[in-house]
Structure 1
Amino acid sequence: MGELDRMVNTLSHLGIGLLIASVAGLNKRQIKIVAFMSILPDLDFILNALFIAINGHLDHQMYNTLYYMMGHREFMHSLIFALFVTLYIRYKEKDRMLALASGAAILSHIYLDYVTSWKMRPFFPFIKETSTIGGIDFFDPVVTIISFIPLFYIMVGRVHESKNNAVFGNGYNPYSKVNGHIRSLFQGNGSWLTGISKGEHRLLYRKLLLIFVIWCVFNPVAKAVLISDIERTEGHDISYQDSYPISPGIFLSAYEFNETTYKILTSSYWSGIEKEGFVNKCYCDEDSSAQYIQRAQSLYDSSLPGEVDYPVYNVSTYDSNVTVVLSDVRNPFALYWAHFKTEYIFVFDTDSENYDVYVKRNVQYSKPMPSGMFA
């Protein structure tokens, strides 16, 4: 996803963390801890960057092992990680309410990612397969508004502080206002921190947190009812977790219609099935391409993260090379999902067993993959 998407996602997690801290009745220092816990899982981007830097030197077994531990939305988005951190805070701080609030903040982050459209392994290491609920759109208006209300009060408080500084001659600089808002989240003792610690808006925050919990529970159930209705209409099983929200209340699904074709359909809470169509599984001469398709699929199955659920193959031949492009049938229909804008490009040498693999993720260029990624 783009930088704006990541920023909105992080701010939403932070807003929910502040709601939890306010309702828990914590002091200023403890509020900072809980706020930090709400965004802690996304700091795995540091581990992920390190992993990318070294993955070209790893064999396949080590590549997979480290991916589970260092990949983005992997171990640091698991329930066992949340448990470890919560127990550490309980031991270190000797405060039961702080530990509970911190654990709730981390869990809110993990669940919010899991309930949108991100494939994760929240039950790792006990369950290594990826899964997702996919019941809420990334830009769901209810979640966004609820999470941004405490941030709005913070910004208003910072503007009020800045204006007071200007009135009293404290060197107010309007151009540094935005940077000051961001720094104030974890620095200093601004009025927003004092307000939350004193319980300002606590009744409102309790109601917002309750609505947030109900909304996050209701939507996955509503999705299950919709998918069940679509199954009856289609007369075919529809995967719950492989039906992804493409906008609030609208889902994209696919299933194997026959041996050569997938059926794609979009459905909504308001009108059931809205659009449907068919996509070929393979754009190739199947007889001559079968062995290369099988090799590509075998290599892909040995790799992580495993983004393709409904594989589509595009096979071409040039000189002594056969190129197999592997993508998901939903890719062309998932306009704003970086997760489903991925193509794996396998280039096989017909005169030997050599091959190269490239990946293209939501960009116009492709890059080579480390050999250790594939068995």
Structure 2
Amino acid sequence: MVNTLSHLGIGLLIASVAGFNSRQIKIVAFMAILPDLDFILNALFLAIDGHLDHQMYNALYYMMGHREFMHSLIFALIVTLYIWYRERDRMLTIASGAAIFSHIYLDYVTSWKMRPFFPLIKEASTIGAIDFFDPLVTVISFVPLFYILASRVRENKNSGVLNGNNTSSQVNGHIRALFQGNGSWLTGISKGEHRSLYRKLLIIFVIWCAFNPLAKAVLLSDIERTEGHEISYQDSYPILPGIFLSAYEFNDTTYRILTFSYWSGVEKEEFVDKCYCDNGSSDPYIQMAQFLYNSSLPGEVDYPVYNVSTYGSNVTVVLSDARNPFAKYWAYFKTEYVFVFDTATENYEVYVKRDVHYSEPMPKGMFE
């Protein structure tokens, strides 16, 4: 599973191979998780987004949104140069840059759209070649964390922390041992324990992350020959290890949805209508919803499907992605935008629904 702990584990692998001391390991480990600290900026952004106009909303989203600026190569370069300025240590600078780059690349090569080339390229994209729950990446990244935890448990047991009768004392003892034991929690890595294993794991990790995008390209080429139609690399997402979900425009009114894998080729195909509406009178509202959505961020919908309904003076347009029903366990395709237009006043409200049974209103500044 690709999460902050996974990034931390990869950072520890890089630091262990470089043969750093405890302080240097902490720097590299921190660099490996630094991009995810953008959740702090994202929380601040969500606190003020209702007071922003559209231009300011977009500008701050690029800088403060999760997986935005702090997941860009420009940010990685700035931080790496800062490490060199502070430390004047070539190997530490290289390892720190590798750690933060590994974070950005691992996110980019899995399932999430990002803007790693911002501000040069503002369009969101993804490689999408490795599943979020990829077992190989998960195991490799958790090995150093497992050894650290096992080492601490062993040291605590040997020091008698686990032998106390009072539960509170045992918990406090664990906490003290974690930070004040016979050496830090990074002692094993700084001493070079398991370094040979870590080096092999790091090599496997690099090869795996480089191989999968190429393998995906070969697979897509084969599927395109089978389908007789071009299929977007960007818009083909892993939904399970080795299994991808994609779509293409079959005709003016229909999308063709398909899942395919390395071992079975095309496994499932279905058609999805682009619009569910009563008549041509819905077109103006679909166009307005499309215009508003295209002006907004983050831009999650690749294959828009519109569901239009009328109640009194309100016209409701629900915008979703054609692939939504086919990705049951992935929240990325569980987002719906609900545009409610008042035909009497020409006002509108927008709500978002993310894999839940309720909708929350979106700030006006999100749209034109």
TM-score between the two structures when normalised by the length of structure 2? 0.95
Q: Tell me what 1:232 maps to.
A: 225
Q: State the secondary structure of the residue aligned to 1:142.
A: helix
Aligned pair partner of 2:234 in 225, 238, 241 = 241
Find the aligned partners of 2:199 and 2:173 in 1 and give their Cα distance: 28
Q: Which residue pairs with 1:24 in the alignment?
A: 18
The equivalent of 2:35 in structure 1 is: 41
**SS state at 1:212 partner:** helix
Per-residue deviation, residues 138-171 of structure 1 (Å, max 9, x unmatched): 0101100100110110010011011012179789
CA distance in 2 between counterparts of 1:210 and 1:117 reads 22
Q: Report if the CA contact (8 A) 1:327-1:343 is conserved.
A: yes
Q: Which residue does 1:79 correspond to in 2? A: 73
Match of 1:281 among 268, 274, 280: 274
Task: Write out per-residue CA displacement over residues 30-80 of structure 1, whole angstroms, 9 at most, x where no aligned residue.
Answer: 101111111110000000000000000000000000000000000000000
1:314 equivalent among 307, 322, 334: 307
CA separation in 2, counterparts of 1:188 and 1:232? 61
Structure 1 residue runs without a partner (length 5+) = none
Contact residue 60 and residue 372 of structure 1 kept, 8 A: yes
Partner of 1:176: 171
| Kept after mapping to 1: 8 A contact 2:161/2:174 | no
The reply on whether 1:200 has 2:193 as its aligned counterpart is yes
1:94 aligns with 2:81: no
Q: Write the distance in 2 (CA, Å) between the matches of 1:168 and 1:178.
A: 8
2:110 touches 2:126 (CA, 8 Å); kept in 1? yes
SS at match of 1:285: coil
CA distance 1:232–1:175, shift in 2 (3 Å): farther
Asked whether the 8 Å contact 1:158–1:190 carries over to 2, the reply is: no
Residue 338 of structure 2 aligns to a residue whose secondary structure is: strand
1:372 Cα deviation from its structure 2 partner: 0.5
- TM-superposed deviation, 1:352: 2.4
Kept in 1: contact 2:277–2:309 (CA 8 A): yes
How much does 1:175 deviate? Answer: 5.6
Quote the residue 1:57 is aligned against: 51
**Pair 1:167–1:292, CA change in 2 (3 A):** closer
Q: Does 1:343 align with 2:336?
A: yes
* Gap runs ≥5 in structure 2: none
How far 1:180 sits from its partner (Å)? 3.7
Equivalent of 1:215, from 205, 208, 219?
208
| Other structure's SS at 2:160 match | helix
- Corresponding position: 1:148 with 2:179: no
- In the other structure, the counterpart of 1:324 is 317
**Counterpart position of 1:365:** 358
Structure 1: 4+ residue segments shifted above 3 A: 167-175, 177-181, 186-192
Q: For the aligned residues, what is the CA RMSD?
A: 2.0
Q: How far apart, in 2, do the equivalents of 1:69 and 1:307 lie?
A: 18
How many angstroms apart in 2 are the aligned matches of 1:273 and 1:189?
A: 56
Alignment correspondent of 2:62 = 68
CA pair 234-177 structure 1, distance change in 2 beyond 3 A = farther
Residue from 251, 264, 268 that aligns with 2:261: 268
Other structure's SS at 1:306 match: coil
Per the TM alignment, residue 334 of structure 1 is displaced from its structure 2 partner at its CA by 1.3
Instruction: Give distance in 2, aligned partners of 1:231 and 1:48.
Output: 39
Residue from 123, 127, 131 that aligns with 2:125 = 131
Residue-pair matches, total: 367
Kept in 2, the 8 Å contact 1:17–1:34? The answer is yes
- Displacement of 1:242: 0.5
Deviation at 1:336, TM superposition (A): 2.2
1:170/1:123 CA distance change after superposition, 3 Å:
same
In the alignment, the residues of structure 1 paired with residue 26 and residue 165 of structure 2 have an alpha-carbon distance, to the nearest angstrom, of 27
How far apart in 2 are the matches of 1:250 and 1:105?
28
Higher alpha-carbon deviation: 38-47 or 186-195: 186-195
Distance, in Å, in 1 between the alignment partners of 2:170 and 2:61 is 42
